[in-house]
Structure 1
Amino acid sequence: MPKTTFAPFAAMLGGLATVLTLAACAGNGQTPAAPGAAAAAAAAAAPGGLCNAQPAQVVLGQSSTASVVESARARSGARMARILRPGQTITKEFNAQRLSLQVDGNGRIITARCG
């Protein structure tokens, strides 16, 4: 009788558990895409919600209000955006569907990049 091994199955379950755990934490501190025209513009800007920071550079120097952040997100084609404040602890994983807007102490946007 052949010996059966469950190692591949166990490895797959372990990987699935890791993915589900990370997915549960993914939305923390990020702005999701808004429905309507902004979402349509984002879909047209980049396929699959991938971020392109170049079109979002127009917001540099502006205050990081909700409408400015949403405008930058829609221009970039990203599915979500986050604001990075001075001294803030942030996650360092790269997310190709996220626009990161770094602000100064006054809340003015100083950089716009993907990740």
Structure 2
Amino acid sequence: MKILFLLPLLAACVTGPAPVPSDDGCGAAGYAGLLGQNIAAVTLPADLNHRVIGPNQMVTMDYVESRVNFETDIVGTIMRVTCG
């Protein structure tokens, strides 16, 4: 009987993943034209806060609103551009 009383309290303690803002604070949409190109063949601004993420590559889970993420496939083709 005590367990049934505690279940609602335990459920209130469970939290999901932190929400990722949906806005384009880093300007990723401006780099959408690079999709399908090889990351080695593109020229990015020298002051651009970015990172290139390859397949199965470990990355930090921190969210940096101004950082542009270029996700590539195994041969370096840009598959996705996001903020974070």
TM-score w.r.t. the length of structure 2 is: 0.63
Structure 2 residue 37 is matched with structure 1 residue 62: yes
> Larger relative contact order (C-alpha < 8 A, sep ≥ 6)?
2
- Richer in helix (by share): 1
Q: Indicate the percent of aligned positions where both proteins have the same amino acid.
A: 27
TM-superposed CA distance for 1:69, in Å, is 5.2
Unaligned runs of 5+ in 1: 1-49
Matches within 5 A, 1:29-40: none
Partner SS state of residue 42, structure 2 = helix
Which secondary structure state, in structure 1, belongs to the residue aligned with residue 32 of structure 2? helix
CA shift digits 1:38-70 (9 cap, x unpaired): xxxxxxxxxxxx5121111000000001x6251
Q: In angstroms, what is the RMSD of aligned CA positions? A: 2.1
Among 53, 56, 74, which residue is 2:28 paired with?
A: 53
Q: SS at 1:100's partner residue?
A: strand
1:92 to partner: Cα distance: 1.1
Q: How many residues end up aligned between the 2 structures? A: 60
